[in-house]
Amino acid sequence: MTHPIELTIEEPLPGAFVWQLLETDDKGTHPRVLRKAYDAVESYELALSAGQRALQSEIRHRAPVGHG
Protein backbone atom coordinates (compact mmCIF):
# COMPACT_ATOMS: atom_id res chain seq x y z
CA MET A 1 0.00 0.00 0.00
CA THR A 2 1.23 3.49 -0.77
CA HIS A 3 0.99 6.46 1.53
CA PRO A 4 -0.66 9.72 0.47
CA ILE A 5 1.68 12.49 -0.67
CA GLU A 6 0.70 16.14 -0.40
CA LEU A 7 2.34 19.07 -2.21
CA THR A 8 2.38 22.25 -0.15
CA ILE A 9 3.60 25.74 -0.98
CA GLU A 10 4.63 28.12 1.79
CA GLU A 11 5.81 31.72 1.88
CA PRO A 12 8.20 31.90 4.87
CA LEU A 13 9.26 35.43 3.88
CA PRO A 14 7.39 37.93 1.70
CA GLY A 15 8.02 37.05 -1.95
CA ALA A 16 9.93 33.83 -1.14
CA PHE A 17 7.97 30.67 -1.96
CA VAL A 18 9.04 27.10 -1.23
CA TRP A 19 7.42 23.75 -1.97
CA GLN A 20 7.56 20.52 -0.03
CA LEU A 21 6.18 17.03 -0.42
CA LEU A 22 4.64 15.59 2.73
CA GLU A 23 4.05 11.87 3.09
CA THR A 24 1.45 10.68 5.57
CA ASP A 25 0.51 7.31 6.97
CA ASP A 26 -2.38 5.28 5.56
CA LYS A 27 -4.87 7.37 7.54
CA GLY A 28 -3.49 10.68 6.25
CA THR A 29 -1.93 11.61 9.58
CA HIS A 30 1.60 12.07 10.96
CA PRO A 31 3.05 13.93 7.95
CA ARG A 32 6.79 13.83 7.35
CA VAL A 33 8.80 15.81 4.82
CA LEU A 34 9.59 13.57 1.88
CA ARG A 35 11.29 16.18 -0.35
CA LYS A 36 11.56 19.96 -0.29
CA ALA A 37 12.89 22.87 -2.30
CA TYR A 38 16.56 23.75 -1.88
CA ASP A 39 15.94 27.42 -2.53
CA ALA A 40 12.96 29.77 -2.48
CA VAL A 41 11.57 31.22 -5.72
CA GLU A 42 9.93 34.58 -6.29
CA SER A 43 6.41 33.43 -7.16
CA TYR A 44 3.80 30.92 -6.05
CA GLU A 45 3.46 29.69 -9.62
CA LEU A 46 7.18 28.87 -9.94
CA ALA A 47 7.13 27.02 -6.62
CA LEU A 48 4.01 25.11 -7.66
CA SER A 49 5.54 24.11 -10.98
CA ALA A 50 8.76 22.90 -9.35
CA GLY A 51 6.79 21.02 -6.70
CA GLN A 52 4.65 19.34 -9.34
CA ARG A 53 7.78 18.18 -11.18
CA ALA A 54 9.15 16.75 -7.93
CA LEU A 55 5.84 14.99 -7.26
CA GLN A 56 5.81 13.46 -10.76
CA SER A 57 9.40 12.31 -10.26
CA GLU A 58 8.45 10.68 -6.96
CA ILE A 59 5.47 8.95 -8.60
CA ARG A 60 7.68 7.61 -11.42
CA HIS A 61 10.27 6.46 -8.88
CA ARG A 62 7.62 4.49 -6.95
CA ALA A 63 5.91 2.97 -9.99
CA PRO A 64 6.20 -0.82 -10.24
CA VAL A 65 8.76 -1.97 -12.80
CA GLY A 66 7.64 -4.18 -15.65
CA HIS A 67 3.98 -3.12 -15.87
CA GLY A 68 2.55 -1.80 -19.08
Does pTM surpass 0.85? no
pLDDT tens for residues 16-30?
Answer: 999 999 998 877 778
pLDDT > 70 in the chain, percent:
94
DSSP the chain: -PPPEEEEEEEEETTEEEEEEEE--TTS-S-EEEEE-SS-BSSHHHHHHHHHHHHHHHHHHHSPTT--
